[in-house]
Amino acid sequence: MDTSEPLQGVNPILPTPFLEDGTIDIESLERSIDLMADVGADGVAILGFLGEAHKLSQAERAEVVRSVVDRAEGRLAVWVGVRALGTAGAVEQAEEAEALGADAVFVAPIAPQNDEALYRHFKTVAEATSLPMILHDYPASFGLKLSVPLIGRLALEGLAPYIKLEEVPALPKVTAVIEASEGRIGVFGGLGGQYFLEELQRGSVGIMTGFAFPEVLIGIYRRFRDGDVVGAERLFHRTIDLMRYEFQPGIGLAMRKHVYRLRGVYATEVCRPPAPSLTELDREELARVVARCGLKLGPGDLELPA
């Protein structure tokens, strides 16, 4: 992957697959990389919340990064999540990601809620590695907000060329961040893809999210990029019910692993505890939503709805 070119496009977040005994399932992880490359994703993101990074040992983190980088073989950009209780731990994770061949890091904030303290944290991490840094702006999970002036400052100083923006309402902040950075930051959406179309219309450069039908996001992105706005709108509105349903807090991870198992990518649906599991009713509802959106739950190529 030529990282001299700007990061953009669809970069799915991968759940970390486990075997029934709770150990990492490398074969399933490798199949997920092959799927993303085959369907035309631009990159993959690992070791975020969806990757259960907080439930992995340091050795397991390294095993995941190494396995993904080796399997990607330059076909996909590999983004590695960085989250620690302090800056020193974040620096260590970023340096390890670079040493193992990652292409970028997406970095979480740390307490306290103070712009100067957050600036120092991100600046220290950015300067510890030559990899591009993506700010991860997700107050619902981190309990911390990244202010627009802080983001603009980090972008204008060349420390943060990208942001994954997930503070709601997301759309006004997309516009504000682009303006504050004078267009020097690439905004990636998240939030399950629920606002992907409008984010693109406001100037985002792509998306990083865990939606388990990446072909849909790629279809929307490519249509929009190629000037087929009507086609992008049609596909987005045809599938938004599924994005909404799959993004449910609490069971979203189990939902994605269930989908990937049915698609023949993951061998199990195992999530490390503590983690809620799906009920039979959840599975039945999901199947109905998938069918209503014109998609299928099963192995093989996915045909996008008209």
Of the chain, the percentage scoring pLDDT greater than 70 comes to 99
- Name residue 11's amino acid: N
Alpha carbon separation from 148 to 154, 179, 218, 257, 272 (Å, rounded): 10, 9, 28, 34, 35
Cβ-proximal residues to 229 (8 Å cutoff; 6+ apart), any chain: 223
DSSP states along 40-103 = T-SEEEESSTTTTGGGS-HHHHHHHHHHHHHHHTTSSEEEEEE--SSHHHHHHHHHHHHHTT-S
Q: Write out the two tokens for 53.
A: 């990074």
- Domains of the chain: which residue ranges? 9-292
pTM of the model: 0.96
CATH code of domain 9-292 = 3.20.20.70
**Angle ∠(56,19,298) on CA atoms, nearest 5:** 115
pLDDT in tens, 22-76: 999 999 999 999 999 999 999 999 999 899 999 999 999 999 999 999 999 999 9
Q: Which residue has the tokens 């490398």?
A: 26
Measure the CA–CA gap between 195 and 63, rounded to whole angstroms: 33
**Angle ∠(178,249,172) on CA atoms, nearest 5:** 20
Measure the CA–CA gap between 230 and 140, rounded to whole angstroms: 32
pLDDT in tens, 254-282: 999 999 999 999 999 999 999 999 999 99
- Name residue 242's amino acid: L
Measure the CA–CA gap between 168 and 176, rounded to whole angstroms: 13
Helix, strand, or coil (residue 18): strand
Question: Is the pLDDT assigned to residue 1 strictly greater than 70?
Answer: no
